[in-house]
Amino acid sequence: MFVLVTAVVTSVSARLVADVVEWWRADGVPYLAATAVMLILSSVLINALPRAVKEFWHWSGPFPAVADRVGKALTRPRKALGVVITVPLLAGAGYVLLPPALEPGELVIMAAPDLSPNTPRTTLIEQWNETHPRNPARLEIAAGETEEQHERMVNDAEEDGEHKADVYILDVVWMPEFVENGYLRELDRSKLGDDLDDFVAPVRRTCEVKGKLWALPLNTDTALIYHRTKVPGVDAPRTWDAHSGTPAAEGRGGVEAATAAQFSDEMLMVSALEAIWAEGGGVVTEDGEVTLTPDGSRVRFTKNDYAGMRKLNAMTRAQGIALTDPRPEDTNALDAVEQFAAGRTAFMRNWAIAHQQLDDRQAELDAAGVTFDAIAPPSPSVLGGQNLAISAHTGEPRAAQALIQFLTSAQSQQILAEVGGFAPSRGSVYDRAKSEHWVHVRTALQQTRLRPNTRNYTEFSKAFRDAVKNVVSEHDQIPDETARELAEILRK
């Protein structure tokens, strides 16, 4: 037992010394004091060990007498000197265990604009900078719509790019491209331990490509269906049609339109997939695999896929379903929030963060007499979100990973959720949440699906959107030539 106690105390002492470099601050005094006490205690135990083994092995007399003989042995000058010598030896052993220090220097995070009105990302970066003065971080904004943001990040990450960024905040659909093109550096799993298990499973999978971990999720996102309350005839929708189809137009309770169709840029892809899935279509599976013909030469479309496309396009043609001003092709997620807050629509399909965006427009809501609720979608929805990844060209990989782990910690996730309205990527944050809103978000996450999993996603998405627009009537189909072109993009 004495040997076991000595081993445990010595191990703890070495571990404390290995971590002590992080505590040379005023608030670290208790930690430093505890480290010193443990070092002295372990040194005493080590030097007492030989005599203790001898005394307890032969065991003559009552326990207090045996213990007293061990204690007296420690008062001999040679043993006292041994204790004094052992303390620095243990400290040195702990120092050897010390992990490599973070490389000094500024860390640049390239990101899309923060859509949250309260800018919680900036708050987190300020917290990091306070505790890591040798590694201050700053944001480099990639402005523009989704495709423009993508282009700016690719231009930076390419072999002959500017390489401004140490860390990228990437849309989840860009992960395969950035990994397969060698733009990213793999994360060191040994630094994470069991911490990965706390991330929501569907979200964590977006960070893994071919079994390797390339990122951690900063925030996730999922669709919610927002609906007006206190409007006669408007109820929580139980089908896709009930919030975006003809039944929605018929039950909009005198409101200008049922919804605002979001067909601008990538939102058309999101809207198309959700309409297709609502009709049971499977051109893109829940894991993001694109369905091909048996010979692999073409993307395969079924009658259910076409039914979803027709319903999607009916939103802009049937009276009362979607607003016509602004035009759907000019409407993005933030535009839809503004129209809903103004009382112009009865329903709204939008991301979870829109809840915070609406709350911050309380004066507008009050002026328009708008009250609302939000629920998980009645049919599968697209998984959104952003991941933090390390640039392959960074000169500070350890510091970059430390920053990523800080920004995705449970505490940081709590701030992103409570201050910015971002959907957290950790299960523990949902466990602690008290708002019913986060219950709906967690439910919605469990039925999300991935967009096409391809390194050529941006090109595929644009071609797919162009094809979907032309399926309007019962007789319209995707031409064979287009289906072949889509398959060819996947093979590139």
Question: Residues 225-248: what's their mean pLDDT?
Answer: 97
Q: Tens digit of pLDDT for each residue in 94-118?
A: 444 456 788 899 999 999 987 666 6
Domain assignment present for residue 479? The answer is yes
Span of 79-83, 201-205, 381-385, 478-482 with lowest mean pLDDT: 79-83
Q: Which two tokens stand for residue 412?
A: 């940081």
Residue 440 lies in a domain: no
Look at residue 240 and tell me if it is in a domain: yes
* pLDDT, mean of residues 113-127: 83
pLDDT of residue 62: 52
59 pLDDT tier (thresholds 50, 70, 90): very low
User: Is there a domain that residue 444 lies in?
Assistant: no
The residues that bridge with 170 in the sheet, in sequence order, are: 387
Percent of the chain with pLDDT over 90: 74
Q: Is the pLDDT of residue 159 over 70?
A: yes
Lowest model confidence (mean pLDDT) among 37-41, 177-181, 388-392, 480-484: 37-41
3-state secondary structure 280-305: CCCCECCCCCECECCCCCCECCCHHH
CA separation, residue 433 to residues 372, 380, 406, 407, 467 (Å): 20, 24, 20, 19, 42
Domain span including residue 377: 223-383+450-491
Quote the pLDDT of residue 16.
Answer: 46
**Confidence at residue 34, expressed as pLDDT on a 0 to 100 scale:** 55
Provide the residue count of the chain: 492
**Average pLDDT rounded to a whole number, residues 237-260:** 97
Q: Is the pLDDT of residue 4 over 70?
A: no
Which residues does 202 contact at the CB level (< 8 Å), separation at least 6? 383, 445, 446, 448
Q: Where are the alpha helices (DSSP H) in 206-298?
A: 241-244, 246-250, 266-278
Q: How far apart are CA 489 and CA 492, in angstroms?
A: 5
Strand partners, 373: 227
pLDDT of residue 130: 95
Tell me: do 194 and 308 sit in the same domain: no
Residue 166: which pLDDT band, with cuts at 50, 70 and 90? Answer: very high
Residues whose CB falls within 8 Å of the CB of residue 427, separated by 6 or more in sequence, listed in order? 198, 199, 200
Q: How many CB atoms lie within 10 A of CB 65?
A: 10
- pLDDT tens-digit map of 17-55: 444 444 444 444 554 555 555 545 555 545 544 544 444
Which among 67, 97, 127 is the end of a domain? 97
How far CA 167 is from CA of 7, 163, 186, in Å, comes to 41, 10, 12
- For residue 484, being part of any structural domain is answered with yes
Residues 72 and 147 in one domain: no
Last residue of a domain, one of 68, 97, 126: 97
Residue 135 and residue 273 in one domain:
no
Tokens of residue 277, six digits: 């899935």
For residue 39, give Cα distances in angstroms to 4, 79, 91, 284.
16, 16, 7, 60
97, 119, 153 — which closes off a domain?
97
Does the reported pTM lie above 0.75?
A: yes
pLDDT at 113: 85
Q: Based on the domain organization, do 267 and 363 belong to the same domain?
A: yes
Contact between 405 and 192 under an 8 Å Cβ cutoff? The reply is yes
Model confidence at 181: pLDDT above 80: yes
Arithmetic mean of pLDDT, 128-149: 93
If asked whether residues 234 and 312 sit together in one domain, one would say: yes
- How far is CA 492 from its chain centroid? 28
pLDDT for 339-379, tens place per residue? Answer: 999 999 999 999 999 999 999 999 999 999 999 999 999 99
**Residues 60, 152 within the same domain:** no
Domain membership of residue 445 (yes or no) is no
Place 91 in a pLDDT band, splitting at 50, 70 and 90. Answer: very low
Average pLDDT over residues 129-139: 95
Domain co-membership, 232 together with 315? yes
In a domain, 177, yes or no: yes
The pLDDT, as a whole number, for residue 118 is: 66
DSSP code of residue 76: S
Q: Are residues 178 and 125 in the same domain?
A: yes
How many distinct structural domains can be found in the chain? 3
Residue 168 DSSP SS3 = strand
Please check whether residues 137 and 202 belong to one and the same domain.
Answer: yes
Q: How far apart are CA 167 and CA 63, in angstroms?
A: 61
Cα–Cα distances (Å) from 463 to 276, 383, 436, in that order, read 16, 20, 39
What does the pLDDT average to over 303-310? 98
| 426 close to 414: Cβ distance less than 8 angstroms | no
- Quick one: pLDDT band at residue 313, thresholds 50, 70, 90? very high
- Judge whether 132 lies within some domain: yes
Q: Residue 238: is its pLDDT beyond 70?
A: yes
Angle between helices 303-314 and 266-278 (to 10 degrees): 120
* Residue 22 confidence (pLDDT): 45
Tokens for 299, please give them: 């993307």
155 and 120 within one domain? yes
Contact 416, 422 (CB under 8 A): yes
First CA to last CA distance, the chain: 65
pLDDT given for residue 33 in this prediction: 56
pLDDT score recorded for residue 296: 96
Cis bond before residue 117 (omega within 30° of 0): no
Helix %, strand %, coil % of the chain (to 5): 50, 15, 35
Distance from C-alpha of 170 to C-alpha of 167, rounded to nearest angstrom: 9
* Same domain assignment for residues 338 and 465: yes
pLDDT of residue 145: 83
CATH number at residue 351: 3.40.190.10
Q: How confident is the model at residue 199 (pLDDT cuts 50, 70, 90)?
A: very high
What are 1-6's contacts with CB under 8 Å, separation 24+?
Answer: 2/45, 2/49, 2/52, 2/53, 2/56, 3/49, 3/53, 5/45, 6/42, 6/45, 6/46, 6/49
- Is pLDDT of 78 > 80? no
For residue 67, pLDDT over 60 is answered with no
For tokens 């971590």, the residue is: 19
Q: What is the mean pLDDT of the chain?
A: 86
Query: Are residues 149 and 281 part of one domain?
Result: no
